[in-house]
Structure 1
Amino acid sequence: MPKKNPVTIYDLARELGISPSTVSRALHDNPVISAEVRKQVQALAKKLKYRQNTIAASLRMNRTHCIGIIVPRINRHFFATVISGMQDEAQEHGYTILIGQTNERIEREHMQLNAMISSRVDGIMVSPTMYTTNFSAFAQCKAHHIPLLFFDRTPQHGHHHRVVGDDFQGGWLATQHLIEQGYRRIAHFCGKLSASIYQQRLAGYRAALQQFGLPFHKRWVIEHELTAESTPQAIEKFLRLDPQPDAIFIANDTSALHSIKLLQARGIRIPDEIGIVGYSNDPAGELISPSLSTIDQKGYLLGRTALQTMLDLIKHRDRKRAPSPITITIPVELIVRNSSVRQAR
């Protein structure tokens, strides 16, 4: 049985005895067309199950109303909440989002970027891999007149639009809290320092130590990928330190949650013997015992703010003079739970 062709505006126009352009305006509620005609067109479109050919419309308007988003890992709480904020903001403005995941691999980042450009998205938003140090591939966006915005992880140099969390302040707050709880030998598990966020969290940690007159020891900074797989080796390295640190500021909650379990398996009491503060406010942190102190990055707010910023860039993309680079910083908040609070002595 031959497949029935989809209903077009020409079919609607023929049925009603009006022009295709009138049908198009009526479907878009153009006030130039009388209310009665708009009502007739829309009723017939519903009856015949007419659906707009969005691809054809996009080609005519040079707009897809779709924004590409590239993230390292969709299954991380932070990125899930960021994407949720972006999705809600996009939907309110009639946009859809296209999501690409890199799994922290640079070649996949380039592949996702090329796919977004080929899909003719109206804008591209990127949180790069923790290994990305060369951002020249993103110059393609300018060549194709596609606005580009980096969020969370961003290039340290060059003229780029950015929406970031206050990672320096987050590192400072986490370390200050541990010091105020009486910890004096505070180690730091950081992510790969090629990534801007881990550089800033480390800088905040160092600044807090300095402000409170505590020494910084490079060997107490343990760099790893902050995954479930890399944390055991980091804990082994931590336990070999001499003198033994009495607290750890860990730059994400995934590693912090696993660190608590690994240390407890060694008979180490948290927080009495070792205090721990994580980063990102993963809901699992409330369920573990002891519950995890952490830094809330306000991922949902960051996502909505980044999407709003991108919509503004899209509005300006056809102007000859590009807007000056924008940097928006989202405040962070210390969430104090049991993993870092010592009992009064």
Structure 2
Amino acid sequence: MVECVKCRMADGVMKAGFVRGRQRFFCKSCEYHFTEAKPTGTTERRRHQATLSDVARAVGVAPSTVSRAINGHSDISPATRQAILEAARQLSYQPNFLAQSLKNQATFTIGVVIPDIERPFFATAVSGIQQVAAEAGYRVMICQSKESYRTEVSNVQALVASQVDGLLICHSRETENFDHMSPTACRGIPIVHFDRVYNQENVSRVMIDDWSGAFAVTEHLVLEGCRRIAILAGPESLLISRQRQAGYQSALRKHGLPVLEELSAHIDFKSAAAVACLDDWLALPEPPDAIFAINYTNAFDLILALKKRGLRVPEDMAIVGFGDEFLASLIEPGLTTVDLHPYRIGQQAAILFLEQMAQKEQFRPRTTVISGDLIIRQSSLRGEGESFRLGI
């Protein structure tokens, strides 16, 4: 029971809200408002982040001793180190990374920019980056462009301003100007482009062997008996789109099939655009008997749209994609596609960054190419057969 601080009566005291986080009361006997007493002594909750000095006072040592113990110096006795680490744990002490970065001129942070973390390909690539980065003592700061050039530029500027030690980036589908990636704009920090890359020779890149993957999946369709194979490509500005289209065209020419302009379309990877292209092709006097979608999510769009229109996959039209995830094996029929190994791509991007950090001025930019696997499932198998995987 609460006693009024003025009249010392308790019977007429009632709660009357909160003031600055403390309970407020009203005494009916003397019509007086008051708040509960502020806690004192050791029970008062800490209102600031614990510092090295706080840990030092708790143990009875100098702050420099705490710093040396936390950073693993060998001149600190095991007993003292254990006492310091226990005090740091109890006080929820966290190192001041900003102060460390000013002292060491390094933040041990890698900035990563991807188009969309909800896409399994990019999420898996980030996992590969984080695995390599964590083993090397680096943290990862992730930004999404959401396929927007403007957002990508803002992301890069924000990460550079946050003094990340390096930048790993997969560009948006809108990106055609790369001025924001210049050494001047990025203050000379190491940069690695992966998947959707900056097509220059003097930059570090991790690329998929897009040409070979597209050639393999197109040739598979030819060997299954398809003769009018359409391609649903991405924006012409994207290098991956141009390379996959080149692989597709080479496979057709190898087997003596014509490359027809009416069976080639460039879209922005959106579902509505994919379905609109399908309807245009179905309206042709001689529709295609197969479609190669260079983005596997558009292949999903095509399979669902064909079913709605009463057409069978692959009997009426075979569908193949590029890029694999668990849904590709769950959709009916299972999608024939190319596994791009996104985890490996992320790992290699992080390794290239670490090489730049270690070699500094001696480092020479290079390109790492990752080969995919052709995964053949029921969306393209015209005859009897089981799903299988082929290295490309």
Which residue of 328, 331, 342 maps to 2:371?
Answer: 331
Equivalent residue letter for 1:202 = Q
What is the one-letter code of the residue matched to 1:331?
A: S
Alignment correspondent of 1:35: 78
Alignment of 1:200-239 (within 5 A): 200-239=243-282
Letter in 2 for 1:159: N
- Is 2:231–2:265's contact at 8 Å kept on the other side of the alignment? yes
How far apart are the structure 1 equivalents of 2:299 and 2:225?
20
Report the alpha carbon displacement of residue 248 of structure 1 after superposing the two structures with TM: 0.8
Change (3 A) 1:93 1:165: same
What percentage of aligned pairs have identical amino acids?
A: 35
Match of 1:191 in 2: 234
Q: Secondary structure at the match of 2:182?
A: helix
Instruction: Tell me, yes or no, if the aligned pair for 1:141 and 1:148 is still in contact at 8 Å.
Output: no
Residue 36 to residue 289, structure 1, CA distance change in 2 (3 Å)? same
TM-fit CA distance, 1:207 = 1.0
User: Letter of the aligned partner of 1:225 in structure 2?
Assistant: D
CA contact (8 A) 2:145 2:151 kept: yes
Matched, 1:167 2:210: yes
Aligned to 2:180: 137
Further displaced range: 182-191 or 130-139: 130-139
Q: Indicate if the aligned counterparts of 1:117 and 1:141 stay in contact, CA closer than 8 A.
A: no
The TM-score, its normalising length taken from structure 1, stands at 0.93
Which residue of structure 1 lines up, in the alignment, with residue 11 of structure 2? Answer: none
- Structure 1 residue ranges, 4+ long, deviating more than 4 angstroms after superposition: 140-143
> Residue 48 of structure 1: CA displacement?
2.9
- 1:83 is aligned to 126
CA contact (8 A) 1:126 1:149 kept: yes
User: Which of the pair has more CA radius of gyration?
Assistant: 2
Provide Cα deviations, 1:131-173, integer angstroms capped at 9, x if missing partner: 3222111115665131111000112234110001111111011
How far does the alpha carbon of each residue in 1:8-37 deviate from its partner, in whole angstroms, 9 at most, with x for none? 222333444433222211112211323232
Could you tell me how far apart the structure 1 residues matched to 2:307 and 2:57 are?
75
1:314 corresponds in structure 2 to 357
Q: Does 1:108 align with 2:151?
A: yes
- Contact 1:70/1:125, CA 8 A, preserved across alignment: yes
Q: Which segments of 5 or more consecutive residues in structure 2 lack a partner in the other structure?
A: 1-37, 39-44, 385-392
Q: Letter of the aligned partner of 1:258 in structure 2?
A: D
Which residue pairs with 1:342 in the alignment? 382
Alignment match of 2:197 (pick from 141, 146, 154):
154
TM-score by length of 2: 0.82
Q: Indicate which of 317, 328, 344 corresponds to 1:274.
A: 317
**CA 1:72–1:48: 2 relative to 1, 3 Å:** closer
| Conserved 8 A contact 1:220-1:241 | no
Contact 1:141-1:147 at 8 Å conserved across structures: no
How many angstroms does 1:125 deviate by?
0.8
Question: In the superposition, relative to structure 1, how do residues 160 and 173 fare at CA in structure 2: closer, same or farther (>3 Å)?
Answer: same
Aligned partner of 2:382: which letter? Answer: R
Paired position in structure 1 for 2:20: none
Aligned to 1:179: 222
Please give the per-residue CA displacement for 1:54-99, whole angstroms capped at 9, x wherever unaligned.
2211222122221111111222221121112112222222222111
Picking from 81, 87, 94, the partner of 2:137 is: 94
CA displacement at 1:49 relative to structure 2: 2.8
The structure 2 residue matched to 1:259, chosen from 296, 302, 305, is 302
Q: d(CA) in 2 for partners of 1:157 and 1:69?
A: 20
- Is 1:188–1:250's contact at 8 Å kept on the other side of the alignment? yes
1:258 and 1:165 mapped to 2: Cα distance? 23
Counting helix residues as a fraction of each chain, which structure ranks higher? 1
Matching residue within 56, 60, 64 for 2:107: 64
CA distance in 1, matches of 2:294, 2:325: 12
Give the CA deviation at 1:227.
2.1
